[in-house]
Structure formats: structure tokens, C-alpha cells
Amino acid sequence: MKDLLGGKGANLSEMTSLGLPVPFGFTITTEACNYYLEHKDFPVGFFDAFDEKLDELEHKMKKTFGSKTNPLLVSVRSGARISMPGMMDTVLNLGLNDETVQGLIDKTRNPRFSYDAYRRFINMFGNVVLGIGHKHFEEALEAAKKKKGVKLDTDMGADDWKALVAEFKQIVKRQSGQDFPEDPREQLKLAIRAVFESWNNKRAFAYRRMNNIPDNIGTAVNVQAMVFGNMGEDSGTGVAFTRDPSTGEKCFYGEFLLNAQGEDVVAGIRTPQTLSDLQGKMPKIYEQLDKIQAQLEGHYRDMQDIEFTIEKGQLYLLQTRNGKRTAKAAIKIAVDMVDEGLITEREALLRIDPNQLNVLLHPSIDPHVDKDVLAKGLPASPGAAVGKIVFTADEACHQTEDGEKVILVRKETSPEDIHGMHVAEGILTATGGMTSHAAVVARGMGKPCIAGCKKIIVNEDAKTVAINGEHFAEGDVITLDGSTGEIIRGAAATIDPELFDEFEVLMGWADEVRKLQVRTNADNPHDAEVARRFGAEGIGLCRTEHMFFEEDRILYVRQMILAHDEKTREAALAKLRPVQVEDFKGIFKAMNGLPVTVRLLDPPLHEFLPNTDEKMAPVAKGLGVSVADLKETVHLLHEFNPMLGHRGVRLGITHPEIYEMQVRAIFEAAKIVHHEGVTPIVEIEVPLVGHVNELKKVRAMIERVAEEMGPFDFEWKVGTMIELPRACVTADEIAHHADFFSFGTNDLTQMTFGFSRDDAGSFLPVYTESGLLADNPTDTIDQEGVGQLMRMAVKLGRSTKPGLEVGICGEHGGEPRSVAFCHEIGLDYVSCSPYRVPVARLAAAQAAL
Ligand code: PEP
Ligand code: MG
């Protein structure tokens, strides 16, 4: 019942049904939340039900809310259908006031504990419900400690906490203009209201944006009897995982803190102990917990993340949920669980978020080169990150906007830092464990993170960090190895990822079920080989212009552009042809037996010429022309809107000799490698066709060249990019002259929306941040607009040529939601950058399932 009760509420009641020790409580539904958010009021009958449930809770706990002798205290926690860790608010110890605290003292015979609980409550309530900044309470606490001459909270006595309670209440009065509410029922109502409202706080909103969680599902509120982990050395609180969330290893794994309350482990203020310490200290509890974890994992058939509290030697479970995990762990766990007979292959495939694979496919630190390790922390989220040190989330955003790569270094992170974490390459914190906010969020984002590094001292104000005693300033470059916890001086060398067994197994299952083929966009043999290792089944786009930029031929390209007469142009092209032949040979060899789509030249010619005065002189010298001459050509080629200008097939129409040279080079290369025993499958592709006659003309040239150079005994085809709206709506005509279509959704998106993809950065973020567009159409296909044009083009194209091969090679080809859409409209393949090939394979499998 997660939709209604939220994840936390549903699992709490499930655990209760299983007979596990869960503190009693009740859950206020997401429906009530949504009603409240819409009407700014509680639904009719809400408080009758509320009173009834509260009475029941008192009865079960044999304690009374507001009692002076035997008070009931509760926690109030949010919990949406989809877990949003730390994004919304929690209030603990609710029900305390000047009278009930006496009852707590009588019951526990522990005034120090009782006043400590009371001051924590006022702080939390003040913050969450009344909106008073934590810092006011923290400052008062620091001042009190200073006055007493102590450093640690544990050095504070009952009277100190009591005095602080009085002071906290004054802070509440001063800051909110009202007295702290003494009536527990009033406290509870206000807290519920505040949790509802926290659904719309800034960080929850940002988290939903980032994780594609809908805004209208609302949160449930769990009201639960308090249990205390801070009642002495026989108490504690912790978080445990049924398998290692970093590696996926099947071992009971977790952390706990003795004599601590609630969120202390997650907040990362103290660095916790491991579960084997718990086993040593409280063997019986450990044994009970171990049994429960196995039971929970078997019940939910997934790795569980369990929160527990021990109150005076008694174990309570506060939460269980499917645990967040690294990509590597996710795959290992899924594959292991299939082996263990717990889940099916199909379930395993559907459990992995294809986007998560990105991390696995990213570089790690080269083990063969020397590295200067400055310090070591906890390896909280794997992968290598190199960047400049920054100390605040805002600074991280600021610098990354200027194109810098940054490492966010903080004492600890909180949900307020989420925007900075999102843009940083990696995250380093001084405190906190493997389950701290920084660690959990970084793992979710797939970012390298080192947490709890005791060897660093962060001075946010001075913008410095001492790493093992050595000072580093903002802007200094460091490298994080999130897999080992090592902080390394400077930019360490990184290497391509190693694929592991379980990954191959899972990909094998994906390949069995998917209908879409997966090709890669690659312009050189190296990329083609990498992609093939990742499972690419051909090249869907080889952008030949990238070859033109290489040092040994840019000169010939420029000579060709500057040529005043046919002869000079022919001479330049004659020099270009053999290098192109070599390029294509390399690629055909790397893709032996698989199709290779080679696109004829696409960008406007001015892109190959210098665009600033300083760059003109050396280029002119190299070309043996005057600067004035070069400037003149640059001037002639200048366009107001190059994206809509003299590019694509338009070049092929106005400069047929360029395309002809390329076609000859392609055929020649294919012939040579074919002689050497390689099987080339050649697909020559014409870009930016908008009218059938453009393709007709270029195709005639290609056929003429083939006639002259052939016959060939390898497969070859001629096709076109579909990247203009006009091409989509006239696809039936175009298909008469095309053996294949390939959607260039980068151009198709800009042409459909009518914005330039080079300039959209200045306004598109406003559209997505304000919710005007749910997604950035350059990230994921705009299915209602661009997608409809694609759908139409497929239908029209195949009405002319049933079985026409249709693929996609725009950036969307490696984005899971777009892949699903391509499956839906019946494409034959998607093509994406080499590192996204596995992402696309899994996404295609999920689409098929
Ligand atoms: C496209 O437009 O989607 C495409 C693949 O071509 P390019 O990005 O090179 O214009
Ligand atoms: Mg294009």
C-alpha cells in the first residue's frame, strides 16, 4: 500500500504484520496530505480519526499523551511512495513540555537524558514547525558549553540541559513571536501540518526534479511511539544493510552508535562503529538483528536498508526499505538473487536503472602510475573524480557554470547542498559514515564520494582545507578515489573501466530480450573498438568532419576551401582522399562484419577556418595566402545562423566534389579491407535532407561513382538522416531514394522547437526549472512534438518501403526513456556514444519487457 501509506508507512505495517518488534504507531495517508496541500486544511473527519488512533496508541503503549506521570512521546516522520532521503522533515520526542518532562524523569530516573530529549525536541520543533534556523539553537548550545568550559555534549549535565531548555524557549519566542506550545495535541497537529508542507520545500522540490518523481503524489506522515537509543551504554541506534551497498557482497553490513538518538548516524556528526562491534558488545541483540535481516530480505526479495534502535537492551525496528546501492552492487545483487532463486531474470533486468550503468562505465584511477595519496577516508561511492576544490554548494554551481570541474569539500553535507553535489565531480567530507547524507546521495547520483575523512580539517570561512596537516586552498586540484577512499594530490591518471562477470551476465540477459539493435556513434577506430567491447552492433553514425579537424589534414581542408579555381580545389581534394581512405579502413576493420554508417560532410565550411584575428596570421602563413585573402574568405562564409545555414546536403549540392571525394574514399577503403578478408557493410548517409530532390541528386552521384569503381562484392546502401520536419512529413517520397533512415534528433529537436541547440542554454533551464517543460528536450525526446514527427516519418517511410531500416543517432539514442520510445515506434536500432552502449542495451531490454 505504498501509494497510500508511503514507503515507510507501508513497510512499518508490513513489519508489524510479520511480528517484528516495531514501536506502535499510525500512518496518516498521502491522500490526506494531498487534500491538505490543495485546500490548506485537513479533510472533514480527520481529527475524529486522529483522536481515535491516538487513544488506541496510548492504550497499546500504556502511556498517556501529556501525562505528568507516564507520558507518551512520539516521532513524526514523513514518508512518500518513493523514498526521498533527508528531503522532508522529522520531529522527535514530541509530547514533551514542562510537566511531561517530569513524568519522563520519574520513569527513567534520568534527568540528564530527559532534559536532553526536551531541548532536542524544542530545537527540532522550532526548526521544522516554526521555521527557526538551526543556527540560533546551535549558537546557544555552543555558548553554554563555552561558559561551562567543556567541548562535548556528553560533558553537559542535567542542569545544563535544563537551563538550555529555558533558553531555547526564549529563542522560540523571540524568533517566532509566539510561546512554545505546551499542549502535546497541539504540538502534534502543528507537526503534522509542517510535515505536509515540507513536501513543497525547496530541497524536496529539487530532489523530485532530479529523480523524476512526480510532484502530486504527496507524503504520508508516520506517528510512532518514541524509543530511545540514548538511554545509556545499553542503548544505541544504527543502520544496517542486508548486503554491502557498495560492492553487493552478500554480507550483513552496517553501522551503529552507542547511546545516540535517531538521526545521529545519518547526520554524520559522529563517525559510527561497525556491526561487528555490536556483535562484540551485545551478542544477543546482534543475533536477533541478524535473523530479522535475513527474514526481511527474504520477504521483500530485495536488499534491505534497516534502521534500528536499542532501548535499554531491547531491539526495535524503525524502518526497512529497499536499500540504495551503487551500480556495481545493484548488478551483483540482482544477478546473485537470480542464482539464489529469489527473483527471475526478468525481475533482475527490470531492477537496474540503466542510467546507473553510466558510473560503471566511467574511468577509475590507473593502478600503474604513482600517486601521491594525501589521506584516506571512507570509500563511500566509487569512481575517480578530478577537480578543483570548492567549499560550498553555491560555489560549486558558480564554477561549473564557467566550465570548471570541481570537488565539493565539506565538513559534512546536508540536503541544502544537493545542488552543489549535483554539479560536482566528486564529494569529500570530514565527518559521517557510509550511511551519511553525503554517502547516500552521492551513491544515488553515481558520483565518487569519500566520507568521514578524519585527516581533513575544513575551514569554510577561510576557504582552506588541511589535508593531513597540509593546507590546500579553493581552486587547488585534487583527485578522489571513491572506491578506495584515497585523496590524491593533483590530477591522477585514470583508466577505462573493467567490466565484471555479473555485468556480462546481466547484459547477456538483456540481449536475449531486446528487440532494438544498439549501435554506436564513433569517428575513429579506437572509439569503435571500445564500443564493440561494450556490445555495439555497428556504427550508427560516423561524423566525417571530425576526421577533417585532425592535424595532418586540416591544411588540405583549408586549401580546398580557399581554392579559387577548380584545379587547386581538385589538388587539395586529391591530398585529402588517401587520408580519408586510411580513416575508413581503420573503422571498417574495427567493425568487421557489422554495418558502418558513414555520414558525408555536415558542418558549414567556416568551422574549419580560424575565427579570431590572432589565429588568422599563422593559418594564412601555413596556407601560403595573405591574411587579407583568408579574412575575405572567412567573411564570405560568415552566416547569421550557421545551424540553419549552408551545411549538410546543401554543401553536397553546392560543392559536389567534396562529397564525391568522400564517396570514392569510402568505396576504396571498403574494397581494400575486403581484399584483406574483412567484411565491410557500408551505409553512406546524406545529412540534413529536407527535399527528396536533394537526396535524389546525391544518390545519382554515388551510384555513378559505384558504377565506375565497382562492381563490389560487399554490401552497400545509401540512406539519409531524418533531421528536418520537412523530411518527416515527406518521408514517403524520400524513402523512394533511401535504403535507410536515421533520425538526427539533435537537429530535429532544434528545428521542431525552432531554437538553436547552441543557444538554447540561455533559456531552456528557465523552462525546466519552472516546470514549464517537464524535461529538457535535448536530454530526452520530446515525445509529443518531435516524437510525433518521428512516428509519422517511420510510418510514411515504410508505407513506401516496407521493412525500411530506421534508426536514431542523435544524443537521445543512449537515453533510457528515449530508447523506450524508439522501441515503441518500431525503430530497428539506436546509436549512441560508446560508453552509453550498455545503458542502451539494458534500456532496450526493459522496453521490450
Ligand atoms: C543529429 O542532428 O541528431 C545528429 C546526429 O547530427 P549532428 O549532431 O552531427 O548534427
Ligand atoms: Mg544533425
Q: What pLDDT score does 523 carry?
A: 85
The predicted-structure confidence for 75-105, as pLDDT tens digits, reads as follows 999 999 987 766 667 899 999 999 999 999 9
φ/ψ of residue 3, rounded to 5: -60, -40
- Comparing 62 with 267, the larger pLDDT belongs to 62
Q: What pLDDT score does 415 carry?
A: 67
- Would you say residue 788 has pLDDT above 70? yes
The candidate with the shortest Cα–Cα distance to 510, out of 843, 209, 51, 815, is 843
C-alpha cell at 495: 583508466
In 193-275, at which residue ranges do the beta strands (DSSP E only) sit? 219-225, 236-241, 253-258, 273-274
Q: What pLDDT score does 300 carry?
A: 94
Nearby residues of 718 by Cβ (< 8 Å), 6 or more positions away: 683, 684, 685, 686, 699, 702, 703, 737, 738, 739
Let me know: does 66 contact 184? Beta carbons within 8 Å: yes
Closest C-alpha to ligand 1, atom 1? 744
Indicate the burial class of 750 (C-beta count within 10 angstroms; 0-12, 13-18, 19 or more).
buried
C-alpha cell at 710: 565497382
With a 6 A CB cut-off, is 541 part of the ligand 1 pocket?
yes
With a 6 A CB cut-off, is 723 part of the ligand 1 pocket?
yes
Ligand 1: distance of its center to the CA of 637 in Å?
21
The ligand 1 atom at the shortest distance from the C-alpha of residue 810 is: 3
What is the DSSP code string of 626-664?
-HHHHHHHHHHH--S-GGGSS-THHHHHH-HHHHHHHHH
Residue range 343-363: mean pLDDT, rounded:
87
Alpha-carbon gap, residue 667 to 717, rounded angstroms: 11
Q: Which residues of 804-830 are buried (b: 16+ CB within 10 A; e: fewer)?
A: bbbbbbbbbbbbbbbbbbbbebebbbb
The predicted-structure confidence for 46-86, as pLDDT tens digits, reads as follows 999 999 999 999 999 899 999 999 999 999 999 999 877 66
Closest C-alpha to ligand 1, atom 10? 747
* Amino acid type, 425: E
Instruction: From residue 52, give the alpha-carbon distance in Å to each of 26, 528, 545, 767.
Output: 11, 67, 73, 46
The candidate with the shortest Cα–Cα distance to 786, out of 725, 698, 702, is 725
C-alpha cell at 417: 547542498
The ligand 1 atom at the shortest distance from the C-alpha of residue 543 is: 9
* Cα 296–chain centre separation: 28
Residues 706, 709, 712, 715: is their CA dihedral positive or negative? Answer: negative
Ligand 1: distance of its center to the CA of 565 in Å?
31
Collapsing DSSP states into helix, strand and coil, what is residue 384?
Answer: strand
C-alpha cell at 714: 560487399
Alpha-carbon gap, residue 213 to 82, rounded angstroms: 8
Q: What pLDDT score does 251 carry?
A: 92
C-alpha cell at 494: 585514470
Instruction: From residue 511, give the alpha-carbon distance in Å to each of 349, 351, 359, 440, 844.
Output: 11, 16, 20, 31, 9
Ligand 2: distance of its center to the CA of 477 in Å?
36
Alpha-carbon gap, residue 450 to 817, rounded angstroms: 31
Q: What pLDDT score does 190 carry?
A: 93
Alpha-carbon gap, residue 75 to 224, rounded angstroms: 5
With a 6 A CB cut-off, is 543 part of the ligand 1 pocket?
yes
First CA to last CA across the chain, in angstroms?
A: 24
Instruction: From residue 328, give the alpha-carbon distance in Å to each of 232, 357, 452.
Output: 39, 8, 22
Residue range 288-313: mean pLDDT, rounded:
95
Ligand 1: distance of its center to the CA of 543 in Å?
9
Residue range 285-292: mean pLDDT, rounded:
96
**Range with lowest mean pLDDT among 198-207, 657-666, 705-714, 821-830:** 198-207
Indicate the burial class of 124 (C-beta count within 10 angstroms; 0-12, 13-18, 19 or more).
buried
Residue range 254-282: mean pLDDT, rounded:
80
With a 6 A CB cut-off, is 23 part of the ligand 1 pocket?
no
**Mean pLDDT of all residues belonging to the chain:** 91
Alpha-carbon gap, residue 425 to 139, rounded angstroms: 33
With a 6 A CB cut-off, is 746 part of the ligand 1 pocket?
yes
Let me know: does 269 contact 438? Beta carbons within 8 Å: no
Query: 475 falls in which pLDDT band (50, 70, 90)?
Result: very high
Which position has the grid cell 504520508?
220
* Cα 740–chain centre separation: 34
Q: What pLDDT score does 90 carry?
A: 83
The residues annotated as belonging to the active site are 437, 809
Q: What pLDDT score does 536 carry?
A: 96
The ligand 1 atom at the shortest distance from the C-alpha of residue 744 is: 3
Collapsing DSSP states into helix, strand and coil, what is residue 489?
Answer: strand
pTM of the model: 0.76
| Range of 364-373, 742-751, 752-761 with top mean pLDDT | 742-751
**Range with lowest mean pLDDT among 113-122, 430-439, 587-596, 604-613:** 430-439
Asked if omega into 214 is within 30° of 0 (cis), the reply is no
The ligand 1 atom at the shortest distance from the C-alpha of residue 746 is: 3
Alpha-carbon gap, residue 9 to 25, rounded angstroms: 10
Ligand 2: distance of its center to the CA of 586 in Å?
24
The ligand 1 atom at the shortest distance from the C-alpha of residue 742 is: 5
- Would you say residue 685 has pLDDT above 70? yes
The predicted-structure confidence for 716-750, as pLDDT tens digits, reads as follows 999 999 999 999 999 999 999 999 999 999 999 99
Alpha-carbon gap, residue 446 to 426, rounded angstroms: 9
Closest C-alpha to ligand 1, atom 8? 746
Let me know: does 447 contact 385? Beta carbons within 8 Å: yes
With a 6 A CB cut-off, is 809 part of the ligand 1 pocket?
yes
Q: Count other Cβ atoms within 10 Å, centred on residue 710.
A: 12
- 751, 809, 830, 833: residue to mutate for ligand 1 pocket, most atoms within 8 A of CB: 809
- Helical spans, DSSP H, in 411-485: 418-423, 437-445
Let me know: does 420 contact 402? Beta carbons within 8 Å: no
C-alpha cell at 261: 538518538
Alpha-carbon gap, residue 513 to 347, rounded angstroms: 13
Alpha-carbon gap, residue 399 to 396, rounded angstroms: 5
The predicted-structure confidence for 481-539, as pLDDT tens digits, reads as follows 988 899 999 999 887 676 789 999 999 999 999 999 999 998 888 889 888 989 999 99
Ligand 2: distance of its center to the CA of 762 in Å?
21
- Helical spans, DSSP H, in 199-282: 202-211, 264-267, 275-281
Closest C-alpha to ligand 1, atom 4? 744
Alpha-carbon gap, residue 45 to 38, rounded angstroms: 17
**Range with lowest mean pLDDT among 124-128, 133-137, 362-366, 607-611:** 362-366
Collapsing DSSP states into helix, strand and coil, what is residue 712?
Answer: coil
Which position has the grid cell 536530454?
779
With a 6 A CB cut-off, is 810 part of the ligand 1 pocket?
yes
- Would you say residue 262 has pLDDT above 70? no
**Range with lowest mean pLDDT among 372-381, 590-599, 659-668, 837-846:** 372-381
Alpha-carbon gap, residue 407 to 492, rounded angstroms: 14
Collapsing DSSP states into helix, strand and coil, what is residue 94?
Answer: strand
The predicted-structure confidence for 163-194, as pLDDT tens digits, reads as follows 999 999 999 999 999 999 999 999 999 999 99
* Cα 454–chain centre separation: 28
| Range of 69-73, 237-241, 556-560, 787-791 with top mean pLDDT | 787-791
**Range with lowest mean pLDDT among 273-282, 372-381, 429-438, 574-583:** 429-438
φ/ψ of residue 531, rounded to 5: -65, -40
Q: What pLDDT score does 733 carry?
A: 98
